Structure 1
Amino acid sequence: MPKVNSTPRTEVTTGPIPHHRPDPSSSRSENTSSHASFGSTPSSALAPPIPSNSTPITVAGALTGNALKPDNGGTIGRPTQVTANFFPLKTLPTSKIFHYDVGITPEIPPQKARTIWGTLSKEADFANDHSRTVFDGRCNAFSISELISISEARTFKIDLMDGRGARPGANVFTVKIAFVAVIDVHELQLFLDRRGPFTSNCATAIQALNIAATHKSFSNMANLGRSVYSPSGAVDLGGGIEKWDGVFQSIRPGQRECFINIDTTATAFVNSGNAAEVIFRTLGTEKRQPCGSYEILKLERTLKGCVFTIDRGSSQKRYKITRLSEKGADRTMFDLVNNEGRTSTVSVEEYFAQQYDRRLRYPSLPCLGAKGSKTTIYFPAELCFIVPGQHHKKKLNEDQVAKMITCTAIKPHLREEKIRKSLRLLDFDNNTYLKAFGIQISSQMAIVPARVLSAPSIEFYDGRERPNMGSWQVRGRHLKGARLKSWAILCFEREDRSPRAVIMNFTRRLAGILSNAGMVVGSSQPPIIYAQPHGDIGREIESVKRLAEREFRRPLQLLMVLFPNKSAMYPVVKTYCETSRSGLMTQCATTKNVSRCNDQYCRMISLKINTKLGGIVSTLGSSSIPFISRMSTLVIGADVSHPSAGEDRGKPSIASVVASIDDMAAKFVGRVIVQDSRMEVIRNLQSLIKEIIKTYKHVTGHHPKRILFYRDGVSEGQFESILNTEVKSIKQACMEFGNDYMPPLTFVIVKKRHHARFFPGRGESDRSGNCVPGTVVDTVITHPTEFAFYLQSHSGIQGTSRSTLYHVLLDENKFTSDSLQQLTFNLCHVYCRCPRSLSIVPAVQYAHLLAYRGRYYLDNGAVPVDNGQGQCVEPNPTPFGEIKVSEKIMNQMFFI
């Protein structure tokens, strides 16, 4: 954080301008949208309020276009109460709030922008009381007093004379402020009471409340998104990374009042301090010998992009690491021109010894490279200091992820206590900005009415099982057993480490379990081939395929592949078997599990094998899913998987759509496509839905008469875009089967990435201390007017369980709260991979799995791409289009 001179130089110019409003299409307006914490706020709603002479909106929710509540909430289920991490706002501002657009040039990060704003807001010529004005660090400022008149804009010159040795003028910034609108918070209160519409004024009011609540903490602490972080209690994750705890906060509209949603968070930061010590922690050892190329890459992966300072006198100029030198400071050479104009070649070590009389202790360590005026400039690591509070944006390795999970997965009662303690860090009672705006926040969490829905019975071939706390036993026969007439084992492990006798024992036991489950197994001793992990995998697969087909005299149905551990070969094997012409169904396992196999392990594998080969493990009775069983219904799940943190920016996203192809929502088919990087809207949804409806018709003999669509991965600010694109694409796909074919559609957003946490009352929890499966919340803290509810459908295993938020964008099937909540909960019990209820509907989970599989195909370079003319072409560096899975398995559940 730059230090600001206590008496900065400020220049002010004023002048009349036309009424100014930010362009909604500009990047600045996009930043604005990220700060409006409202479940269905479209981007247009974040523009300035509708002019007073516009036609008023008289229907609540009309501005968003999302489905409205069909009733006052559900009634079925056992009534209970839960504590929610929502703290009521006891008072809202009573005075009008003035909204201003702020532009700072040159562009700078939000944290530095807040420093400039803090300097500006303390100027007597600008504001009488700086606590009456708040700023989001980007482009929005709100004040409860008028800063400038409507007809003028003001321009300020701010010079942060911070004494860091920067070049003259480097810290001079131009700040332009223009009036946008006057916000009447009373409109928001009318909306909360369901006595008025949700206007753009309401959205901007919520945005102003959010910025007022977070201005103090965001100005004083490291922040990411809506969370602030503190180094207090940091936990070392290894590899130069540490975990910081944080606090998330967001204003949310509820039933008749607003709440601030507060939750604990954690994320990874780069170790700060002396750069040499950070290097040692990153490498896991004190390095006195020159680093190898692998070690340099490892260091760059962690440190590249980090800001550091130099220990050389009073200068505190900051630099950003662009690379590390390939050699140590003693062997990194450059040309030095002396005062007489003579050039000599010296090492970085020699230069610092001559110029600053600094003798290096670790001359073999690589230097930190930063961008210079003409070339990269290097500094000895031990003379550099990594600035604290720098977020580690890259993907954590497996060990770091495991440590992060261990220290963040805390029991519900401990998380509840931690959230309460976080109020001390936020210190709302002594927040001068909140007091100036007239906002009071309760220190008590909301007690929310909830209901516990009854679990459905699970039907097998020879009976039913009633779930107990979200789980049940699979003892007898599956509902429908498949036939396994031809299978083989391919083992990527040395025979002396995984003997043939051990594998044969496993196959006999597995064959027995499969037979008991109702499958027809032709042989309990399939051929076994040992393969070289570093050989030609395709050749090894084709070899075992030919061997099995000769032995069984029929095509190979299942290839079991055994790996020594969680092998990097897994994606390669899946890619080859599922996208090549062979079209092999595979089931993978580790040799460790095979060697110590037991009946329970074999039963879990049998669930997947039977499903992959066309069988059905279990289903729900028709009375549990009347919406589906009484009329042919297409249940669809969709998801878009984006490149993970640290991956190439241009790396494509993967979109997947999975749909049921029977009248009991037990069998599914999937389609997967590659599309533009980080594009959330599924670009080719119309053709995917058309193909899925064709497949449904081919299997069942009729078209679906209605559609239930669960869509995952959509943020609140994208609801309007999804309504205008994906819903339209589904309708257009249906019309391709005839203008009179228009099955009613219910489109539901499925959200797991939220910060609502529910804590059960005494005696109301499961064994993990979480809410019991079937707990649903649809009042008090949910959307004031729109059809939305939280459902916790699974039993807790580790840490605090997260419920799923279901938000209905369109409902042409006229669900009631009870009917949709119970149907969704019941569907969570038909996941074929395990006898437990899921936290989300299986259709969405299958879409997750298929999207991950598509990522494997893309990463392993075996993605045939449709060129739009029905031809399959070779993949290119950025392939876009449908991924062609082998026709032999494309309509089976190969992705589970």
Structure 2
Amino acid sequence: MVKLGIRLRRAQAHDTPGSTASAQVPSAIFTRTLRGRFNLRWAPNDASPRSPHYHYDLPLAAWPTKIFNRNHDEPAQRPRTRTRRRQRPREGGPPPRGGAPPSSPGAPQAGSGPQARGGGAPPPRGRGDFRGGPPRGGPRGGAPGGSVIYAENIPATIPPRLSDASHAQLIRSFTTLKSDPDRPLRPGYGTLGRPITLRANFFAVRVPAGPIFDYTMEITPKTDINRLKARIFFLLEQSAVCQPMLGYIAHDRSQRLVSARKLPQPLDISVPYYEDGETGPRAGATVYTVSIKFDKELDTESLTRYLNGEVGSRDYNTLPIISALNLVLQQHPTRTGVRVGKNKHFFPTADEPFRLSPGIIAFQGFYTSIRPTYKQLMVNVNNCMTAFIEPGNLAEALLAFNRNSRGAMPTLPKAFAKSIKVTTTHLGFKMRKPIKAIASTSARNTFFDCEEFGGKISVENYFSRKYKIKLSHPADLPVVDIGSAKRTNYIPAELCEIEPGQPYRGKLSDIETANMIKYACNPPRVNAIAITTQGFPALGLSPVRPPTGGFNIGVDTEMAVIPGRELPPPGLTYSRGTANARNGSWNIMDVKFHRGATVKSWWVLVVRDGREMLQGQTDPQLKNLVTKFREKLQRSGMQIPEGLPRLLATPPLQNLQDASREAALKEIRKVITNTLAAAKNIKPDFILVLLSYRDNYIYPGIKRLGDVDLGLHTIHMQLHKALGDERKQDQYLSNIALKVNTKLGGINHLLDPGAMRWLTKEKTMLVGIDVTHPGPTSREGSPSIAAVVASVDANFVQFPASLRIQRPDPNRESKEMLSELRDMLVERLLVYEKKNRALPQRIIVFRDGVSEGQFDIVVREEKAQILEAFQKLSTEARGPKPYRPLVAIVICGKRHHARFYPTASNLADRNGNTQPGTVVDKGVTAVFDFDFYLQAHAGLQGTVKPTHYTVVYDELKLTADELQKGTNDFSYLYARATKAVSLVPAAYYADLACERGRYYLNDFMVDDRTTSSGRGNLDREAEKAKVFEAARVAWGAGIHSDIRESMFYI
């Protein structure tokens, strides 16, 4: 412990952002809240020379939030200052104008965002610019220096366009339109819950008055190489013809250009090609011609009528003009930063990035997207993080990744290597090339035919003789192939520089993911400040940068203020008593499962994987743990035999040569099948599998063995969690008990009857649908996996699943729409009929994983298959009347960037997030469509993210209150937790089922090979077809019949 003397002075007028102030408080003991974030220097204590103190200089905004006195009993009081209230740091810029865009012509005049006032500097910017992101916000998400609420002291006034009368008028106008279940009109706005006022990360946009001119672009001679096209368009912008236009044109570097002015026609611009690093085109260089041809005018007046909700504009296609406006707003950050995907821009710098692992770093960026809302065009701006490949010498990257290798030639993970583009300079100029493959041989041992030097020559000798380059790693590092599909071109790794600004396309490891979360997990106030103070200048929104100003587009610098509501939690019932949800969670210490499952027999399998924490069946720790687990199941209300179950253990499985654990899985199979044979094939109700830690091969392998091959429920327990202190152990065992009871058909808890009435008034089945796709680390040609789950009971607790694999669409790596939805839904309906002796009269489908651009495809393709399933069940055996239940389809969107911020402390949780049950259906939602945002769960850390629900088909004529409250209540019925979840459970279960399906094909989904060998397109397609066929064979008949009607995936 160190005593600190700190002097506080009032900030002076000449203080600059980032300047420090000193504070003098009684000697106090600082705890770890300092976290090394402040500059330390030694200084004598003038007040008490006998007791020297440390002296800290720190920004006022970074003042630690916990200062403890000597007794450690309670926090010491923060020193009072004489700084007047109006001098507090300003977060929100000028007072809000009700969300209206700036009225003056040209760019908004609000400057570059909020500025510091009076008594301090603006909040710290992490590691500077975008290197380290925004400040972390102190302990448990609290904001440094006090309030956890963004712009709490700035009035939040809901604009007139969002008044109840305005919305009521809009809904009345809809009654003049024909009612249609396809893409239904909003039936009304929700009324239930406590009204609240929120800020949202949406900013008002002024629509330009005149038309926008839309053009197509074509390159001659044609090229499909993205790197080459990007360079051509870069050179196009440098041309004398194009330079004067840059203030009023925007283009996508591919096929489209939009302009605020009419361009001359025809417009053909010659672009002599040369590489970056060359001073100009060489003799004989290729000259490309970019032809810019007029396509159409985009009328902004039609967009205004749509925004105003005029019923004649309901079918107006907003996509052309919205995408044009997005092009304009994204032009500046695309030129100055790195674009990832369509809407994310990052601004990496070379110093002090956040390191996720050797060779992989992370940067903060910002997402932007124009959104049409009622009476106002908005731009959604949000923080985002992504991983990048660390720039530097490729040889150093190889050495860093292979520090622990045992003599093999160094290489890179496949997902890492396939992402890399490198620069070489040995030709006298910079040449950028993607890595096609990393060889398994060094420069000394790699040979090729060379006429110039009279036959075969090694890569080492070639570079020595041709370029006078002596290699530092001729024998210990591999060469890399930067050639084409038809021709190899080997080059030593040490002559390759990894280009900066390259996103990492692979899947992050568990450690990398944890580091990313640590970096990205900032409280809402901190993220909001980053958007307005860092995001706006970087994106060219304030001050406005070309070409936005040239299009006469203005963007308000104030976050939108919108109305919202807080829905109350439902009542929860157990076998004995009830539980009260508070902040989205509840305690089950004194209650029992509503219906406990019966266990006749169970086994325990100890997997000795070389890191074992137990020494086999006789270990006393094992017997103690198993006994505690049995007692936990009994106390929870399950029926289970007294005494110890059958205890099994594998032989030691550690084998350094068995990287994919194939031999280990054979041993595990052998132990289980031998025990089954000894038990005369009488299966236990479940096997408790004890692993020291999560294993990316053994865990999926055991799930496949149990679910597909043997028809056995397996429950995994990680010993490093199970053998912890008693409090943590009890919680961990409780969580596993929830899974066991659900798998075996029990009911953990129910909602009170009132919360379920909207579903139980007629026989209703809830359906969840999702599709998961191969990742960057999967073998090319691996299938997508589709899941359909559906309720089978009147309590909406049990959701068995159907799984299928499906071939990707032609020329794509995945397929989002389900190919076999009809048959999968028939399976679910037959199980429902078996359990209930009748088919459901209503079906509500919650569809996950669909982007907004695919909504119409869902209605067209998947709805058709749903109706075909009903036809297939309309047989004479069920009566002469065709089976035709009413159907609603709701899309559940998590891949959005809408965030909501409380406007007062009493509306927030301790981290500054909105409370569970927050629902928003005004201000930032669609004009005509039936959609809303719902945050049913509590945000444990970082900034909480709601789910966006959109009704795309509705024969049930659901009301806003029914669906909003019903979805919020249903979020408390997730079987695996005593918390409300962020996604409606039907969709959540479908996601879990998809993930389980990935485990069955783990050998295909996790491919540890390095880069491909650069085959031609025909060979590549043939190889992908072989991989898919092999996966189909491996999938076999799917889920074993013994567990098919259970929630095996939970």
Structure-2 residue corresponding to 1:454? 568
Structure-2 residue corresponding to 1:53? none
**Distance (whole Å) between structure 1 residues aligned to residue 803 and residue 273 of structure 2:** 52
Match of 2:488 among 376, 382, 389: 376
Match of 1:408 among 513, 520, 523: 520
Structure-2 residue corresponding to 1:780? 923
Structure-2 residue corresponding to 1:559? 687
The alignment's TM-score, normalised by the length of structure 2, stands at: 0.73
**Distance (whole Å) between structure 1 residues aligned to residue 226 and residue 551 of structure 2:** 22
**Distance (whole Å) between structure 2 residues aligned to residue 110 and residue 371 of structure 1:** 16
Matches within 5 A, 1:482-501: 482-493=597-608, 496=615, 499-501=618-620
**Distance (whole Å) between structure 1 residues aligned to residue 177 and residue 259 of structure 2:** 28
For structure 2, the 5+ residue unaligned runs are 1-173, 654-663, 809-813, 875-880, 1006-1026
In structure 2, the CA distance between the partners of 1:800 and 1:499, relative to structure 1 (3 Å rule), is farther
Structure-1 residue corresponding to 2:998? 855
Task: Give the secondary structure class of the aligned counterpart of 2:428.
Answer: coil
Higher deviation after alignment, 362-371 or 327-336: 327-336
Contact 2:182 2:954 in 1 (8 A): no
Cα displacement (A) at 1:234: 2.3
**Distance (whole Å) between structure 2 residues aligned to residue 861 and residue 433 of structure 1:** 46
**Distance (whole Å) between structure 2 residues aligned to residue 818 and residue 386 of structure 1:** 54
**Distance (whole Å) between structure 1 residues aligned to residue 502 and residue 302 of structure 2:** 40
Cα displacement (A) at 1:370: 1.8
Cα displacement (A) at 1:244: 2.1
Higher deviation after alignment, 202-211 or 451-460: 202-211
Match of 1:626 among 737, 740, 757: 757
In structure 2, the CA distance between the partners of 1:201 and 1:257, relative to structure 1 (3 Å rule), is same
Structure-2 residue corresponding to 1:574? 703
Cα displacement (A) at 1:318: 2.6
**Distance (whole Å) between structure 2 residues aligned to residue 337 and residue 143 of structure 1:** 53
Higher deviation after alignment, 660-669 or 135-144: 135-144
Cα displacement (A) at 1:888: 1.2
Structure-1 residue corresponding to 2:194? 78
**Distance (whole Å) between structure 2 residues aligned to residue 272 and residue 676 of structure 1:** 37
**Distance (whole Å) between structure 1 residues aligned to residue 487 and residue 190 of structure 2:** 66
**Distance (whole Å) between structure 2 residues aligned to residue 875 and residue 97 of structure 1:** 46
Cα displacement (A) at 1:356: 3.1
Which residue identity does 1:727 align to in structure 2?
Answer: K
- Provide Cα deviations, 1:206-227, integer angstroms capped at 9, x if missing partner: 1111111111221232111111
Structure-1 residue corresponding to 2:328? 212
**1:588 is the counterpart of 2:704:** no
Contact 1:461 1:477 in 2 (8 A): yes
Cα displacement (A) at 1:243: 1.1
In structure 2, the CA distance between the partners of 1:412 and 1:718, relative to structure 1 (3 Å rule), is same
- Provide Cα deviations, 1:412-432, integer angstroms capped at 9, x if missing partner: 211111111211111223312
- Provide Cα deviations, 1:358-413, integer angstroms capped at 9, x if missing partner: 33333333223221797423323333222212222122222222221211111221
**Distance (whole Å) between structure 1 residues aligned to residue 339 and residue 242 of structure 2:** 27
Contact 1:134 1:143 in 2 (8 A): yes
Match of 1:231 among 348, 351, 370: 348
Structure-2 residue corresponding to 1:427? 540
Which residue identity does 1:661 align to in structure 2?
Answer: V
Which residue identity does 2:270 align to in structure 1?
Answer: K
Higher deviation after alignment, 347-356 or 247-256: 347-356
Contact 2:371 2:380 in 1 (8 A): yes
Task: Give the secondary structure class of the aligned counterpart of 1:847.
Answer: helix
TM-align CA RMSD? 2.9
Match of 2:553 among 411, 432, 439: 439
Structure-1 residue corresponding to 2:56? none
Contact 1:60 1:194 in 2 (8 A): no
In structure 2, the CA distance between the partners of 1:361 and 1:60, relative to structure 1 (3 Å rule), is farther
Contact 1:234 1:245 in 2 (8 A): no
In structure 2, the CA distance between the partners of 1:443 and 1:336, relative to structure 1 (3 Å rule), is same
**1:469 is the counterpart of 2:583:** yes
**Distance (whole Å) between structure 1 residues aligned to residue 459 and residue 683 of structure 2:** 67
Higher deviation after alignment, 228-237 or 189-198: 228-237
In structure 2, the CA distance between the partners of 1:127 and 1:566, relative to structure 1 (3 Å rule), is closer
Contact 1:672 1:882 in 2 (8 A): no
Structure-2 residue corresponding to 1:713? 849
Contact 1:508 1:525 in 2 (8 A): yes
Which residue identity does 1:635 align to in structure 2?
Answer: L
Which residue identity does 1:639 align to in structure 2?
Answer: D
Structure-1 residue corresponding to 2:290? 175
Aligned length: 812
- Provide Cα deviations, 1:225-262, integer angstroms capped at 9, x if missing partner: 11111113522222312112211111011121111111
Matches within 5 A, 1:55-66: 65-66=182-183
Task: Give the secondary structure class of the aligned counterpart of 2:435.
Answer: strand
Match of 2:893 among 751, 761, 770: 751
Task: Give the secondary structure class of the aligned counterpart of 2:793.
Answer: coil
Which residue identity does 2:628 align to in structure 1?
Answer: R
**Distance (whole Å) between structure 2 residues aligned to residue 673 and residue 433 of structure 1:** 48
**Distance (whole Å) between structure 2 residues aligned to residue 418 and residue 58 of structure 1:** 43
Task: Give the secondary structure class of the aligned counterpart of 1:671.
Answer: strand
Which residue identity does 1:690 align to in structure 2?
Answer: V
**1:674 is the counterpart of 2:771:** no
For structure 1, the 5+ residue unaligned runs are 1-56, 863-873
Which residue identity does 2:1032 align to in structure 1?
Answer: P
Which residue identity does 1:348 align to in structure 2?
Answer: V
**Distance (whole Å) between structure 2 residues aligned to residue 640 and residue 860 of structure 1:** 19
Structure-2 residue corresponding to 1:732? 868
Cα displacement (A) at 1:325: 3.5
- Provide Cα deviations, 1:662-697, integer angstroms capped at 9, x if missing partner: 111111111000001311111111111112111111
**Distance (whole Å) between structure 2 residues aligned to residue 651 and residue 61 of structure 1:** 45
**1:203 is the counterpart of 2:299:** no
Higher deviation after alignment, 535-544 or 827-836: 535-544
Task: Give the secondary structure class of the aligned counterpart of 1:823.
Answer: helix
Task: Give the secondary structure class of the aligned counterpart of 1:731.
Answer: helix
Contact 1:656 1:850 in 2 (8 A): yes
Structure-2 residue corresponding to 1:10? none
**Distance (whole Å) between structure 2 residues aligned to residue 783 and residue 649 of structure 1:** 38
Structure-2 residue corresponding to 1:877? 1030
Contact 1:482 1:613 in 2 (8 A): yes
**Distance (whole Å) between structure 1 residues aligned to residue 670 and residue 182 of structure 2:** 55
Q: Answer 1 or 2: which has greater strand percent.
A: 1
Structure-1 residue corresponding to 2:594? 479
Structure-1 residue corresponding to 2:463? 352
Cα displacement (A) at 1:768: 3.0
Cα displacement (A) at 1:589: 0.9
Cα displacement (A) at 1:123: 5.9
Cα displacement (A) at 1:539: 2.3
**Distance (whole Å) between structure 1 residues aligned to residue 245 and residue 289 of structure 2:** 22
Contact 2:241 2:269 in 1 (8 A): no
Cα displacement (A) at 1:305: 5.1
Structure-2 residue corresponding to 1:68? 185
Contact 1:549 1:556 in 2 (8 A): no
Structure-2 residue corresponding to 1:761? 903
Contact 1:60 1:191 in 2 (8 A): no
Which residue identity does 1:160 align to in structure 2?
Answer: Y
Higher deviation after alignment, 268-277 or 671-680: 268-277
Structure-2 residue corresponding to 1:514? 633
In structure 2, the CA distance between the partners of 1:390 and 1:706, relative to structure 1 (3 Å rule), is same
**Distance (whole Å) between structure 1 residues aligned to residue 485 and residue 759 of structure 2:** 67
Structure-2 residue corresponding to 1:88? 204
Cα displacement (A) at 1:357: 3.1
Structure-2 residue corresponding to 1:160? 273
Structure-2 residue corresponding to 1:131? 247
- Provide Cα deviations, 1:2-25, integer angstroms capped at 9, x if missing partner: xxxxxxxxxxxxxxxxxxxxxxxx
Cα displacement (A) at 1:308: 2.1
In structure 2, the CA distance between the partners of 1:523 and 1:497, relative to structure 1 (3 Å rule), is closer
Which residue identity does 1:311 align to in structure 2?
Answer: T
Which residue identity does 1:481 align to in structure 2?
Answer: G
In structure 2, the CA distance between the partners of 1:438 and 1:540, relative to structure 1 (3 Å rule), is same
Over the matched positions of the two proteins, sequence identity in percent amounts to 30
In structure 2, the CA distance between the partners of 1:571 and 1:611, relative to structure 1 (3 Å rule), is same
Task: Give the secondary structure class of the aligned counterpart of 1:523.
Answer: coil
Cα displacement (A) at 1:78: 0.8
